[in-house]
């Protein structure tokens, strides 16, 4: 059995963009880059489906991510405070 050839993201993006441009056929691109035509079609489809993500307002996404991290940190702080109180009480009993 032959090993699958792994292609890096730069090549995938380049080939997919060329496929979207349509200046060459998928078969021409396949010959040029030594990639199966079906693979080029898959990469092109991924590019077209994922292109919208590139234009999502990063400021909102960053704010949502930051709020989620902040909530997790507050939760962790609360747990640590409870553990600290517990340990203080137990150490008082020992001393």
Q: At what angle do helices 9-21 and 26-33 cross, to 10 degrees?
A: 150
pLDDT at 60 over 90: no
pLDDT at 47 over 60: yes
Number of domains observed in the structure of the chain: 2
| Dihedral angle computed from the Cα positions of residues 86, 90, 93 and 95, in that order, rounded to the nearest 10 degrees | -120
Q: Could you write out the DSSP letters of every residue in 48-71?
A: HHHGGGGGS-HHHHHHHHHHHHHH
- For residues 36 and 62, membership in a common domain is answered with no
Nearest Cα neighbor of 9 from 46, 53, 37 is: 46
Range of the domain at 87: 57-95
Q: What is the mean pLDDT of residues 50-73?
A: 77
Q: What is the pTM of this model?
A: 0.56
- For residues 9 and 35, membership in a common domain is answered with yes
Contact of 15 with 29, CB cutoff 8 Å:
yes
- For residues 51 and 67, membership in a common domain is answered with no
């Amino acid at each position: 059995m032959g090993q699958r050839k792994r292609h890096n993201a730069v090549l995938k993006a380049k080939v997919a963009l060329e496929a979207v441009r349509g200046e060459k056929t998928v078969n021409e691109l396949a010959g040029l880059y030594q990639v199966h035509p079906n693979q080029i079609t898959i990469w092109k489809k991924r590019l077209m489906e994922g292109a919208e993500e590139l234009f999502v307002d990063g400021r909102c996404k960053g704010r949502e991510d930051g709020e989620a991290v902040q909530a997790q940190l507050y939760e962790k702080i609360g747990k640590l405070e409870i553990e600290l109180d517990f340990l203080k009480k137990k150490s008082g009993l020992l001393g």
